[in-house]
Structure 1
Amino acid sequence: MASLSNAAAPPGRGEVTRCERQCTWVTCSEEDAAASDEYGPLDIQVEVGESPLFEHSSDALFLPTEDVNIAKKSFNAWYNSGVLAALDTLAEHKVDGQVSWPSKMSVLLLGAARSFSALHSSFYPHLLMSGEELLAQFSGASHWATCPVRAMEWHPHASRLAVARKDNLVQVYQMQTTATSSCPHFSTGRMQQLKHPEQKRISSLAWKPYSGSVLAVGCQTGVVVWQVRSHPGAPRPHPQHLCSNGHSPVTSVAWSSDGRLLASASPADTSLMIWDVTSPDCTGTPITRHGGGGVSLLAWSSAISDTGMSRLLTATPSPLFRVWETRCFTCERWSNLAGRVTAACWSPDGNVLVFAMADDPALYYLTFFVSKTESADESTRRVGGADTAIKCVDLTPVEMAAANDMDEPVTVGGCVQSLAWDASGERLAATFTADSPGRDLVAIFTTTSQPVMEVLPCGFVRGRTGETPEVVTFQNDVESGALLSVAWSSGRIAFVPLLYNTPHSLDSASTVDTLEKAQHSVSSIGTAFNSPVAPPLTARQEALHKHGFGAAWPEQSPVPRTPW
């Protein structure tokens, strides 16, 4: 089992990570990084104030009205706040100064309900939290309540980046190249802003596969589904607001591999919601399993070859998680864990699940399989997961010497806050919780599956002084490796090329020249859009073109990747 002491030395304080090249890390000073950033990092500055972590009620803004019918008042209380609020309204009702019989019955029912709620909450303490406290506890960002960027997601097939801000705004950026620069950059002129009255306190984002423009936004009131415009001047269709009684706040959303189904999760609801986006009214179906106290995290795998089946992880606020096969929606459960699952992601082929748990500084993985008999008979289909998860990396904090051997030792490691796996399956990124010693670093791991599954520490990514990583994600289909995107606590979004498929050796001339060459190696991210003559379409391009992508998007040359 590997440990962080096997990784390359972390950057010293005052240094910024620029890129990785064949497991060798290039760093420079903060001044040099700011002066020569080819990607034009995005700085998200939020000026709109946010309320503190407790719920505000608008009832205090209005004077009470005594002449409103008690039935209407009870109905309004139930509609706005639920059954307990309606019973509370009836319990306070009096007729000519005397307690009425509906009030007496409501007091008895309210007492019984509160006793049951207290007993239930003793098993699941998170049910006593407010909506904002649940979002802060179960979202992927380390400091969700204060960080300017609360979620971030690359489109799986296009060079689009969606960023959710603290002020309830979603911005969509388009990466592009120009004739004067071979390196891709972001154009603020092509940035789109998405805002909706129901889009409050955003927790997660998810792009629909095989669609160029559909984006799901998980928030406190449910899910808002957007149809992002192809260009800023195009008309924008009205977004859909998906909600269900008791299913809020939503802390995680995930699309099926074919883009037909959308899943949403809420820690306050024991039901997993599956939305059929192909139906005109976007029908939602609750799938309920008792035990766990809710659903806090989702991770939907890619389709498994030869079967078309995919798997869906549903983690709960308690030490229990389930994995579903998504044809018949049967599940298997794993319990008696060290803590709740805080982060998880699937391998590109959908057969390996890597996850981390609260209060346990380690990474684990589960392998899955589908037998021939199960794949042939859907009525007996099972998930096919291993009985026991295997601990693959020990993340116990360790003290390491800084890379420049000049600074004081750096402590790395801790419990994991979030995970991201690149599309090739060769790089895994992890951030640490706010109380971990290594909270100001992003840990990078190399991953292989042949002959056995192996996760090895590779190195660390550091931002500017005082910054901690909040959200990490990878851009898909990068020819020379992977492009890691990090949203830092300052509101800055940085892009770190991880170049593990380039045959060239590391140039030792200077860190700036080395980075320019490294960034030139990933210029294929955007140069395809400027190609004067498009090559013949491949089968993959034709499939993407049918789902709304331009025919001028050429297939990138094949890259040797580790098979999964």
Structure 2
Amino acid sequence: MENTIALEKAVLPSANEVTVAEIDGALLNLSNSKDPKEDLYAKSEALYPILRIPFDIPINENREAQKPTKTLPNFKIFRKSPQTKMIDYYYQWKYEFENYIEESKKRIAFSLPPFFGNLFYDIPTESYITLLREKINSSPARLLAWHSYNSLFAVAHRLDAIFVYDLRVDSWFPEALETDLQMEITCMAWKPLGGNMLAVGCCRGICLWEMPLRANTTTGSVDGSIVLWDTAFQTGQVLTTTCRSCLLSWSPDGKYLLSGTLKGYLIIWETRSWTSKIVIEEREEILKSACWTANSKYVFLAFNDSAFIATLAITSEFHMKFLPRQYTSYPDDEIGGIIESLAIDSIGERLAVCFEETKLVAVYNVNQALNVPTDSSSGILSNVKFIRGPVWNELKDQGQIVAPSPPKPVAISFANEYVRGGLLSVIWEDGKISMIPFIYHSKSSQ
């Protein structure tokens, strides 16, 4: 089953408006920098600056190399014997030969039809990694991770540097997080209740950062399998090697681990016994984004090349059932369409949706009623609104003919802690970062 959320009551900002906040359920859109409604925004006491990430960053050649979290032991140096040198030559030749075979298999595979090409080389995995690289390099930044309890967030630059912004002092940290082993960043997450530890996932490994700026790089799974790491003992246990995982998501209560694979499987793990259930069998749709409600009872899912939001309901008995899918594409208005990513606030009242082509961010109300009928024709999302920004479509001088076009959103994320409701951060394709507060109970309504 599926349904489309009606647009009759949707608030569509015009081309010359910028969305700055939601106050008591209504979006606040400003038509220009001198809009009289700006006083209402100022009275909300929730003003946030628009930040800017440059497409290129200056390189400081005199910068000292990052020190690892643990000092390396002192090694004794021995002169190599002829036998040792021969062994070194052998392994160097072996390494070069294996690289040559790998590149040859790739060339052969891509010259054949997909079915036969997969016999020589893993084309789906290579295609997936190539797509990730293209997206990483298409805009200044595409990843933003909020700290679990502090008002600061990390932003991953396309050139593999990480910048940290502290909202408490409205300032960037003076140094970027960089290391030679941090390449092609695909995801980031702060350790819950773990101080200032930031885990950074790359195409070939995991980098752990701990403030002050220190890095410790550990190997990850290069074949897409799931590895459980015990950070206290620095040991890893392979959970599965049969599926190439492309997305992992923990439930807020820690009871479940969701895994999406490159072959289209959707698997839920129960973390006490590490038993699993296959929710979706093999298919062409690959899980693209996932986010849980605060009570861990529902998880919203988006798949590649899909305009549907799927909602999976999970009971305490580890039973699962899909609610009706909800359609997000509205052809008459040319908004919505294929979903890029999902984000939900920490309270669980607003679900934000970023699309691949639309220059608007959709925001849905979430009904987290305890007993939602799973056989109902409607889902738990309603009352869609749309956010535009952060460029006013106005001419700045008499000689200007074409007004600037609003940028497209490329990434969204809610702050983990915001006492007044929700705080949505949006990365736009031009490198701007805007923060939109959702104030559910303003002072004026009390």
Same fold (TM over 0.5): yes
Pairwise CA distance, 1:432: 0.8
2:230 corresponds in structure 1 to 276
Q: Check whether the contact 1:481–1:499 (CA below 8 A) recurs between aligned residues.
A: yes
Contact 2:133 2:184 in 1 (8 A): no
TM-score by length of 1: 0.62
Task: Report the 3-state secondary structure (helix = DSSP H, G, I; strand = E; otherwise coil) of the residue aligned with 1:145.
Answer: helix
Taking the aligned partners of 1:6 and 1:477, their CA distance within structure 2 comes to 32
**Which residue matches 1:385?**
319
1:475-495 CA-partner distances (Å, limit 9, x unpaired): 123222111100111111001
- The CA distance in 1 between the partners of 2:294 and 2:283, in whole Å, is 25
Tell me the secondary structure at the aligned position of residue 176 of structure 1. coil
Which of 195, 198, 203 lines up with 2:181 in the alignment? Answer: 198
Q: Please list, as runs of the form range in 1=range in 2, the aligned pairs for 1:367-406 lying within 5 A after superposition.
A: 367-371=313-317, 384-386=318-320, 388-400=321-333
Match of 2:16 among 3, 8, 14: 14
1:162 aligns with 2:154: yes
- Pick one of 198, 201, 206 that aligns with 1:215: 198
Say if 1:498 and 1:191 are closer, same or farther in 2 by CA, change over 3 A.
farther
What does 1:337-356 correspond to in 2, within 5 Å? 339-356=285-302
**1:325 has 2:244 as partner:** no
Tell me if 1:445 matches 2:356: no
**Contact between 2:263 and 2:284, CA under 8 Å: does it hold in 1?**
no
Flag the 1:289–1:440 CA change in 2: closer, same or farther, 3 A.
same
Shift in CA distance, 196/30, structure 1 to aligned 2, threshold 3 Å: farther
Residue 25 of structure 2 corresponds to which residue in structure 1? 23
Cα distance change on mapping 1:77 and 1:504 into 2, 3 Å = farther
Within the candidate set 76, 86, 92, 1:76 is matched to: 92
**Counterpart of 2:30 in structure 1: which amino acid?**
C
2:67 corresponds to: none
From 150, 154, 171, the equivalent of 1:187 is 171
Q: Does 1:476 align with 2:416?
A: yes
Shift of 1:49: 9.5
1:162 CA displacement: 0.7
Letter of the structure 2 residue corresponding to residue 414 of structure 1: G
Sort the Cα spacing of 1:121 and 1:474 in 2 relative to 1 into closer, same or farther, 3 A.
Answer: farther
Cα distance in 2 for residues equivalent to 1:7 and 1:145: 38
Q: TM-score, with normalisation over the residues of structure 2?
A: 0.77
Deviation of the 1:352 alpha carbon: 1.1
Q: How far apart are residue 30 of structure 1 and its match? A: 4.7
How far residue 135 of structure 1 moved from its aligned partner, in angstroms, is: 2.1
* Counterpart selection for 2:343 from 406, 417, 420: 420
Task: For 1:302 and 1:241, locate their aligned partners in 2 and report how far apart those are by CA, in whole Å.
Answer: 26
1:85 correspondence with 2:99: yes
Name the SS for the 2:132 alignment partner: helix
Secondary structure in 2 matching 1:209: coil
Deviations 1:203-253 (A, max 9, x none): 211000002200011123311101122xxxxxx4x4111114xx34xxxxx
What is the match of residue 71 of structure 2?
Answer: none
Instruction: Show CA shifts across 1:451-475 (max 9, x none).
Output: 4261114301111234111111111
Counterpart amino acid of residue 387 in structure 2:
V
What's the offset of the Cα at 1:78? 4.8
Percent of aligned pairs with the same amino acid? 25
Query: Are the counterparts in 1 of residues 151 and 417 from structure 2 also a CA contact under 8 Å?
Result: no
Deviation of the 1:22 alpha carbon: 2.5
The correspondence for 1:135, drawn from 128, 132, 136, is 132
Distance 1:493 1:327 in 2: 39
Alignment correspondent of 2:380? 454
CA distance in 2 between counterparts of 1:88 and 1:370 reads 46
Partner of 1:239: 215
Residue identity in the other structure for 2:226: L
Code of the residue aligned with 1:358 in structure 2: it is N
Change (3 A) 1:361 1:478: same
Structure 2, unpaired ranges of 5+: 60-84, 373-378, 392-404
Give secondary structure in 1 for the equivalent of 2:138. Answer: coil
Contact map agreement 1:147 1:490 (CA 8 A) in 2 = yes
Q: Does the aligned pair in 1 maintain the 2:150–2:417 contact within 8 Å?
A: no
Contact in 2 for aligned 1:2/1:456 (Cα 8 Å): no
1:322 CA drift (Å): 0.8
SS of residue matched to 2:307:
strand
Secondary structure, aligned partner of 2:332? strand
The answer on whether the counterparts of 1:149 and 1:163 sit within 8 Å (CA) in structure 2 is: yes
Is the contact made by 2:249 and 2:291 (CA closer than 8 Å) also made in structure 1?
A: yes
Paired residue total: 386
In the alignment, the residues of structure 2 paired with residue 79 and residue 389 of structure 1 have an alpha-carbon distance, to the nearest angstrom, of 48
Match of 2:257? 312
Q: Is the CA contact 2:151–2:167 (under 8 Å) kept in the aligned structure 1?
A: yes
CA RMSD, Structure 1 to Structure 2 (Å)? 3.4
Question: Compared with structure 1, are the counterparts of its residues 200 and 455 closer, same or farther at alpha carbon in structure 2 (3 Å cutoff)?
Answer: same
1:120 matched residue in structure 2: 118
Q: CA deviation at 1:77?
A: 5.6
Structure 1 gap ranges (5+): 51-68, 92-106, 138-142, 178-185, 230-235, 249-268, 304-308, 372-383, 401-410, 506-520, 522-564
Q: 1:285 corresponds to which residue?
A: 237
In the TM superposition, structure 1's runs of 4+ consecutive aligned residues that sit over 6 Å from their partners are 114-117
CA contact under 8 A between 2:49 and 2:435: conserved in structure 1?
no
